[in-house]
Every structure is written in C-alpha cells, then in structure tokens.
Amino acid sequence: MGAGILVLLVLPYVGRPDHKSMKFRFVSRWFFQFFLVVFAGMGYYGAQPVDKYTTAVSINLVTFYFGYFLVLSPLVERLENLLGRTGR
C-alpha cells in the first residue's frame, strides 16, 4: 500500500507533456482507457474470494497499474512530445 502512495507523490515529477489536455494527446487517451479497465479489474478481483486464478490476475493487474504510472505514461508523453515537435 505504501508503493501506491509513493507513486502518487512522484507522479507530478515523472513527465512534462507539451500539451496539458488529453484532447490533443491521442495516444495517451487510449492508454488512459486501458488504465481505467485495469483499475476496474483491480476493484473487481480485490472483492473476490482468494484462489489461484484471482491471485494471478490480481498480480498482473497490479503490475499493469504501476507500469502505467512509472513506465508507460512517461514513454508515451515523450513520444507525443517528439511527434508534436516534428509536426506529424
């Protein structure tokens, strides 16, 4: 649980997009929808009884959750900043 709080504390310093609005960041919009599905899945499988299947799915969802904030979001922002500067 401490890692979730640390991610929220570090999040403002992870990336600096050129465009602040998701309206102009098309790739980020798709990955944010993926994040919402992962978040809903974490809530659903967190409420289920513990067995091998739900544990495996929950571990994968948590990995995707932290991967979104720490790896995927900064990479997508850099990609969109690069594409925005080249005029594509």
pLDDT digits (tens, 9 = 90+) for 3-25: 778 877 877 776 666 656 666 66
Q: What is the pLDDT of residue 88?
A: 52
Query: What distance in Å separates the CA atoms of residue 18 and residue 29, rounded to the nearest whole number?
Result: 15
pLDDT digits (tens, 9 = 90+) for 27-73: 778 888 999 999 999 999 999 999 999 999 999 999 999 888 888 88
Query: What distance in Å separates the CA atoms of residue 60 and residue 54, rounded to the nearest whole number?
Result: 10
Token pair of 61 as six digits: 């969802």
- Structural domain boundaries in the chain: 2-86
Query: What distance in Å separates the CA atoms of residue 81 and residue 63, rounded to the nearest whole number?
Result: 26
Q: What is the pLDDT of residue 78?
A: 81
Token pair of 3 as six digits: 């890692």
Predicted TM-score (pTM) of this structure = 0.74
